[in-house]
Amino acid sequence: MSTPTKLFLFGISLMLIFGFSFFAGKALIPEETVSTWTREAEDSADDHGDSGGHEADAGHRPASATPEPVSGLSIEQDGYRMTAVKAPTSVVGGGELSFQILDPAGAPLTDFTTSHEKDLHLIVVGSDGSGFRHVHPRLDRRSGTWTLPWTWTDGGSYRVFADFVPAGSNDAASLTLSRSVQVTGSFSPVVPVLSRTDRVGGYKVRLSGELEAGESRDLTAKITEDGAPVTDLQPYLGSFGHLVALREGDLAYLHVHAGADHESVQEQPSDGHGHGTHSAGPDIDFMTAAPTPGRYLMYLDFKVDGDVHTAEFVLEAK
């Protein structure tokens, strides 16, 4: 029975009820029947009233296309919390960047599971996607404080991501917490433009593959030097390449994994940044899923001749 017909019959029923109640002093239709009609009419209106019928739902993504969860948008996850980040407040001079991770009981966390040769990975990036840095602070196990020397090159708003696996965690997936830091100084916003190719340290890096909202897709980074394939990539933090993906706008932290047909140099828990294939080049394979349509900022770390380089890309998910 269509929604308009149900609503029409519901209205007629109410008129009959009130009519009989007026003349006979009570409704002749059982109260349970009225309640059933009411629920059916309300349920039907909820299902169709806002969409205007099934035709309006044709453009919606099927329920089976569940978006990949994002992380890094909160200071707290699963009871673990990142304290405020202490850092220089200006581009003038330098200082120290420090913070703590608190466990569910509120105590500083000092025991971590090593993931890709480090207990914690720190990602720092400007709100516009510029100034990307992937670094590794040191832990004072007495106080649970992570620190490293720090200097800002530009003013603006920055996001600081802490990516780690607590010791004794029931699952291998890492947690990604983040805090914002404001820095005074000159600031010229960067508008990211779509780009699949970057040149860094004398190397050309091209990222191929497509992103589709709600679907896992393969990405491949190809590294060349003067047109020749680079086949002597060196392991860096247990793999030949690390790919960080952030959603433009809110900088949501995507989960990126090694390509399905390859394995990492070392078996490690999966964390927020992807770790590339066992091959030493020129191709490094990854797999990720964009949670929503829009642009995504990609940062690839790779190591050659003892130097770590970072190539940057911007892809769009449909």
Question: How many helices (H) and strands (E) in the chain?
Answer: 2, 19
132 and 217 assigned to the same domain: no
Q: How far apart are CA 41 and CA 10, in angstroms?
A: 7
Inside any domain, residue 28 = yes
Count of other CB atoms within 10 angstroms of residue 194: 9
The confidence score (pLDDT) of residue 7 equals 44
- Among the listed ranges 58-62, 99-103, 247-251, 299-303, which one has the minimum average pLDDT value? 58-62
50 and 125 assigned to the same domain: no
Q: Which domain holds residue 8?
A: 3-56
User: Does the pLDDT at position 8 exceed 90?
Assistant: no
Helix residue ranges, H only, 70-149: none
Span 47-55, average pLDDT: 39
Mean pLDDT, rounded, of the chain = 80
Which are the contacts of 313, defined by CB distance < 8 A and separation ≥ 6? 195, 196, 197, 198, 207, 297, 298, 299, 300
Inside any domain, residue 188 = no
Q: Do β-strands 203-208 and 216-225 pair in parallel, antiparallel, or remain unpaired?
A: antiparallel
Q: How far apart are CA 221 and CA 311, in angstroms?
A: 10
User: Does the pLDDT at position 45 exceed 50?
Assistant: no
First to last CA, the chain: 37
The confidence score (pLDDT) of residue 171 equals 58
Enter the tokens of residue 270: 């999966």
Higher-confidence residue of 237 and 62: namely: 237
Inside any domain, residue 38 = yes
Inside any domain, residue 64 = no
Inside any domain, residue 118 = yes
Q: Classify 4 in phi/psi space as left (phi over 0), alpha (psi -120 to 50) or beta.
A: alpha
Are the beta carbons of 95 and 150 closer than 8 angstroms? yes
The confidence score (pLDDT) of residue 132 equals 97
Span 34-48, average pLDDT: 43
